[in-house]
Amino acid sequence: MPLILILGDQLTPSLSALRGADPARDRIVMAEVAVETDYVPHHPKKIALIFAAMRKFADRLRDAGWTVLYTPLDDPDNAGSIPAELLRRAAQTGDSHVRATRPGEWRLIAALEALPLHVDLHEDDRFIATQAEFEAWADGRRELRMEFFYRQMRRKTGLLMDGDKPAGGQWNYDPDNRKPAKPDLFMPRPPTFAPDATVTGVLNLVEARFPRNFGRLRPFHYATDADQAEQVLAHFLTEALPRFGDYQDAMLSGERTLYHAVISGYMNIGLLDPLDVCRRAEGEWQAGRAPLNAVEGFIRQILGWREYVRGIYFHEGPDYPARNALGHRRDLPPLYWGAETRMNCLSHAVRQTAEDAYAHHIQRLMITGNFALLAGIDPAQVHEWYLSVYFDAYEWVEAPNTVGMSQFADGGLIASKPYVSSGAYIDRMSDYCGTCAYKVRDKTGPDACPFNLLYWHFLHRHEDRFRANRRMAPIYRNLDRMGAARRDRVMSEAEAFLARMDAGKTV
């Protein structure tokens, strides 16, 4: 009789580990454990979301006739880790077989494989591509670009396909999707959910156990079961999807979610099915309720990026999160953990992250990620920050996005050029600069926007690597045009800024 392990991000009734199992015979093991809560200092909202969703899923399994051996975090017998809980349950029940769906993190896979029990790991087929499919696609390719993997996934699923051609004649409508947003009275807001008894119990536990973790626990109104997650999705499809494309890269101080779906946290723990989400979005286009540029852009994030980064994580192996191709060594400054900063864009992104455990993609990539890359922060510390603070952060998806896409620490495996920008891009795409203590138009001087100084500092210090990059040639031509005296001034002001930051001064 096997024990069936279900992890906190595997809350799906059709999970491969459950398939073929017998509720009358087999027992399910679920556990809230310190090793998982403490391997990075997760945001309290993230821990609360996982625990509440685990408890509700366990109830649902019990209603369906399963025996669930569930260990809450404050159970005096809690053995503290997933392997230790499995050993404890094995000793209790006399079972020495474990069936599990492959975890989304090398660390936990290794821990399960090291158990002195017979462990069967089943493929996590909640993803649209199998790892074998990704490996076959990657095999022999010089470059592993998302765009080509995405086209293969379009062909495989038939999503937005017109026979063997992309619907509308183009694979990618991104050139249409770069508009800044204006505040709008009718901006959609994702549905919120008042805590029920289960959620309240979890909130009290998390409050007592994680008082020092970065981030605000309350108010908490995320969805914590599949029905609620479905309401969030349904609301997004009707209210926000039609404008998702147009404003995908926009940032506004007063609007934290804009036209984004805020569903990653639910998809990543199994409350929503990615293929179903894509088909539902396609249906909106087919019904004439959402334009193709929006629907294609949205589907690409899930069918393309989400599947691709998972493929990369498992293709590259356990050392991937530790890569540091640019040799960046600076410590993550305290402003990432909420210390004061005069940079309005960073202040907004970090405050929102502390309050919501959510920031949308462009805030993650072009504000917090951009600054860390420009400032030369150790990518391992950046990785730990992102893995800790977002409600959707699991290593298989977070590490490729942070280490690869955002910090270029994989040497350009995911990104063909680094995602860096000066203040001008942030000014164009947001309303942050108008009320900032720094002046976005100042390139040097006491009020110069730090993104302006650090942008050139980054390009200058990594000239050997990037000057030959065809896509960066125009940028290096601008650096050349700057002239030696001006360039030296920018570099010394950038150095002075970094020295102040390293000394713990407010920057």
Residues that bind ligand FAD (CB under 6 A): 260-264, 267-268, 298, 301-302, 305-306, 309, 360-361, 364-365, 369, 386, 390, 392-393, 397-398, 401-402, 405-406
Residues 252-281 that bind ligand DLZ (CB under 6 A): none
Residue with Cβ nearer ligand DLZ (107 or 500): 107
| Inter-CA distances, 337 with 43, 103, 196, 340, 393, Å | 11, 29, 30, 9, 17
Supply the minimum distance, in Å, between the C-beta of residue 236 and ligand FAD: 7
CB hemisphere CA count around 416 (13 angstroms): 10
Tell me which of ligand SF4, ligand FAD, ligand DLZ, none is bound by residue 426, counting a contact when its beta carbon lies within the kind-specific cut-off of 5 to 8 angstroms: ligand SF4
Tell me which of ligand SF4, ligand DLZ, ligand FAD, none is bound by residue 103, counting a contact when its beta carbon lies within the kind-specific cut-off of 5 to 8 angstroms: ligand DLZ
**Contact range with ligand DLZ by CB under 6 A, out of 98-106, 141-149, 441-449, 477-485:** 98-106
* Main-chain dihedrals φ then ψ at residue 31, nearest 5 degrees: -150, 135
Residue with Cβ nearer ligand SF4 (16 or 422): 422
Tell me which of ligand SF4, ligand DLZ, ligand FAD, none is bound by residue 8, counting a contact when its beta carbon lies within the kind-specific cut-off of 5 to 8 angstroms: ligand DLZ
Supply the minimum distance, in Å, between the C-beta of residue 337 and ligand DLZ: 18
Cα-only R_g, the chain: 23
Supply the minimum distance, in Å, between the C-beta of residue 108 and ligand FAD: 16
Residue 32 engages ligand DLZ in binding (rule: CB under 6 A): yes
CB 50 within 8 A of CB 269: yes
Tell me which of ligand SF4, ligand DLZ, ligand FAD, none is bound by residue 386, counting a contact when its beta carbon lies within the kind-specific cut-off of 5 to 8 angstroms: ligand FAD
Which letter does DSSP use for residue 97 in this model?
E
| Inter-CA distances, 271 with 10, 45, 338, Å | 9, 17, 31
Residues 361-400 that bind ligand DLZ (CB under 6 A): 394
Residue 249 engages ligand DLZ in binding (rule: CB under 6 A): no
Residue 414 engages ligand DLZ in binding (rule: CB under 6 A): no
Return the closest-CA partner of residue 331 out of 371, 366, 382: 382
CB 331 within 8 A of CB 394: no
Q: For residue 138, how many other CB atoms are within 10 A of its CB?
A: 14
Tell me which of ligand SF4, ligand FAD, ligand DLZ, none is bound by residue 404, counting a contact when its beta carbon lies within the kind-specific cut-off of 5 to 8 angstroms: none
CB 115 within 8 A of CB 85: no
Tell me which of ligand SF4, ligand FAD, ligand DLZ, none is bound by residue 108, counting a contact when its beta carbon lies within the kind-specific cut-off of 5 to 8 angstroms: ligand DLZ
Peptide bond into 219 cis (omega under 30): yes
Give the span between the Cα atoms of 89 and 270, in whole angstroms.
Answer: 24
Give the span between the Cα atoms of 389 and 385, in whole angstroms.
Answer: 6
Residue with Cβ nearer ligand FAD (3 or 393): 393
Among 44, 104, 215, 304, binds ligand DLZ (CB under 6 A): 104
Supply the minimum distance, in Å, between the C-beta of residue 174 and ligand FAD: 13
Among 103, 245, 274, 297, binds ligand DLZ (CB under 6 A): 103
CB 349 within 8 A of CB 363: yes
CB 274 within 8 A of CB 267: yes
Among 16, 18, 28, 37, binds ligand DLZ (CB under 6 A): 37
Residue with Cβ nearer ligand DLZ (12 or 37): 37
Return the closest-CA partner of residue 111 out of 76, 77, 92, 87: 87
Among 15, 17, 47, 399, binds ligand DLZ (CB under 6 A): 47
CB 12 within 8 A of CB 273: yes
Supply the minimum distance, in Å, between the C-beta of residue 209 and ligand DLZ: 11
Supply the minimum distance, in Å, between the C-beta of residue 311 and ligand DLZ: 15
| Contacting positions for ligand SF4 (CB under 6 A) | 343-345, 423, 426-427, 432-433, 436, 438, 440, 449-451
Give the span between the Cα atoms of 279 and 110, in whole angstroms.
Answer: 35
Supply the minimum distance, in Å, between the C-beta of residue 463 and ligand DLZ: 38
Which letter does DSSP use for residue 331 in this model?
P
Non-local (6+) Cβ contacts of 166 within 8 A are 151, 154, 160
Beta bridge mates, 68 = 28
**DSSP line for 250-288:** --BTTBSSTT----HHHHHHTSS-HHHHHHHHHHHHHTT
Residue with Cβ nearer ligand FAD (264 or 344): 264
Tell me which of ligand FAD, ligand SF4, ligand DLZ, none is bound by residue 451, counting a contact when its beta carbon lies within the kind-specific cut-off of 5 to 8 angstroms: ligand SF4
Give the span between the Cα atoms of 385 and 377, in whole angstroms.
Answer: 12
Residues that bind ligand DLZ (CB under 6 A): 7-9, 31-33, 36-37, 42, 47, 50, 82, 103-105, 108, 394
